[in-house]
Structure 1
Amino acid sequence: MILNRPWTKRHHQDHRQVMALRWLTGTGLEIGALHKPTPLPEDASVAYVDYKTRTENEKAYPELAGETIVETHHVGDGFSLDFIAAGSQDFVIANHALEHSPDPWGTLETWWAKLRPGGVLYVTVPAADKCFDRGRPISGLREIWRAHRNFVRMDREAMIAETARRLREFITISDANIRQDNNLPPGDPVGQEIFIKARIDDLGTRLQAARNGGELFAAHIAAINRIYDIHYFTFSPVSFQTLGIAFCALHRGRLADIRKSGGGEVIMILRKAGGGGLFRRA
């Protein structure tokens, strides 16, 4: 229940490096690091995954001209990692990625499958009440599991209904907060509804053509994320912990560590069974 307590001065410190030093070693991946790669210990090496090359990212983000964007070692979808062999990684890092997945449970399973025995999944999400998602309901475990079941069952109608609801929620609450925080005028409700309909119509067309779960997921990325990169799901420190405990209970792992960090994010370490305890550091 410590995670339920108010954020303190300690929680506003950046704990990413501390958590990496404690839990990461060997070779692994980091998804979407861009200009903020996770600082690693000397005995760890990482390959960066992004759907753009470094040159493409530099062109796409001119506001980061003064920053160093990491080299992309694997160009591809960080959610599917279909270019990475199963059981080949000592760790996978995903900071502020899981909330962008239409199927967080399935995404955790994908990342988990890439780990060797004893491997570590290092996942960070924004706390909803500390970012532009404030005011949105927190996504409970039941909702996350229902979304995963829709993918497993290939229930296209349920996917369309739930994605439309989440897209509308993001636009009416999260986008409104972004506009307010940046002193921008409110969005046009009519234009927003037209946009939502266009995105959901496109998603529906893509879903009908999809032949498996991977293509259903890719349909969401093409119709929604690549156009308007929403947070499908929202987390609190406690809800994130609950997700981690439930996931590990079904996948032979344990929630090894969890910590509030940076004044607005939660870092969670999930460790796969096996490996002889090589990752725990003093």
Structure 2
Amino acid sequence: MRTTLKKIARRLLGADAIVASINALSDKIDRHAAIPAGAPSPQSAAQPAPPSCRELIAIEYLSGQGIEIGAFASPLKVPGNTKVAYLDRYQPDQMEGELNVAGLTPKDFGFDPAALIVPDIVDDGESLSKVGDLTQDFVIANHVLEHFENPIKGFKNMLRVLKHGGILYLALPEMQHSFDRIRRPTPFEHVWRDYLEGPAWSRKQAFDEFARVFVDNGMAKNLFPQKSGDERVAFESYVASELERANFSIHFHAWRMIDMVDMFVKLKDQLGIAYQIELIKANGDEVIFIFRKIPSTIV
């Protein structure tokens, strides 16, 4: 994986210094996360689990006051010198209606509304309309951007609310290691058109595509009866309409790691967004990015 990161960085970023920075921090994370041979199991009561990769990166980069978008039931564990306000588009008690789709309930998804983070700010994470410009030391958005119909707009607004020098901590699912693996990667031209024209043109396509993923995953988990042929096509169409009716937070987009990096590099050129990519870290089924906002106008 380290070789892959080197190739991506050199090909798309064209800077050995960035490659060195990525490798140096990756080495540091790997050293801290490694369990010495013969050490007690992390599950032992006498031996606490070592910090996760996510936590180590947070320790390295996060301080001050910021927001986490869409923490759901898995907020990022942050260092003690930080203060986090949680932002989401709805309160936990509003979620049940969205998850009652195609005969399924929140229990079928493994969600307990009581375990969800209660947001301090109820707002659309894509627009961040209730968060002022240049007000945050950091923004955390883990497994959020793929849920945005207009991810470039969302990314731009995350940077908008950061102070100069502020950190955007962003993780995206690597589609090849998730239920999205049966989809085609979202090309840059698609998200660019979503940004220029608005996402209405691709909305039905997104729900139809995600319905296929949803049904495939649901049948694999015996949540849906097995169907094939025309019967399956008709059922997928029904599920797509149910998901759209409930305004279900689907994965509107899906990317491989190479697609993610390509997108973020192109955005610097296309929009003149002022940021540096400080870290790209493959972490199991996700890729973690650290962006630093640099003093310049966000166009």
TM-score between the two structures when normalised by the length of structure 2: 0.70
**Bigger Rg, structure 1 or 2:** 2
AA of the residue aligned to 1:41: P
> Bigger CA drift: 159-168 or 96-105?
159-168
Structure 1 residue ranges without an equivalent (≥5): 152-158, 200-222, 276-282
- Percentage identity across aligned positions? 26
Alpha-carbon deviation of 1:51?
Answer: 2.3
Alignment of 1:1-282 (within 5 A): 2-3=4-5, 14-53=52-91, 63-65=110-112, 68-151=115-198, 159-172=199-212, 174-184=213-223, 185-186=225-226, 188-194=232-238, 196=240, 224=244, 226-249=246-269, 250-261=272-283, 263-274=284-295
Please state whether the residue corresponding to 2:87 is helix, strand or coil. strand
Whether the aligned pair in 2 keeps the contact of 1:258 and 1:268 (CA below 8 Å) is yes
* Deviations 1:2-29 (CA, angstroms, capped at 9, x unpaired): 1499xxxx79x94211111111111100
Residue 81 of structure 1 and its aligned partner are, at CA, apart by 1.2
Deviations 1:19-47 (A, max 9, x none): 11111111100011122110111211100
User: Deviation of residue 192 (structure 1)?
Assistant: 3.2
> How many Å apart are 1:180 and its aligned residue?
3.7
Q: By how many angstroms is 1:54 displaced? A: 5.1
Deviations 1:103-128 (CA, angstroms, capped at 9, x unpaired): 11111011111111011111111111
- Give 5+ residue unaligned stretches, structure 2: 8-29, 34-50, 100-105
Contact map agreement 1:102 1:232 (CA 8 A) in 2 = yes
Calculate the aligned-residue CA RMSD, in Å: 3.1
Give SS of 2:127's match: coil
Query: How many equivalent pairs are there?
Result: 238
Does the residue aligned with 1:86 lie in a helix, a strand or coil? coil
**Bigger relative contact order, structure 1 or 2, given CA contacts below 8 A and separation 6+?**
1
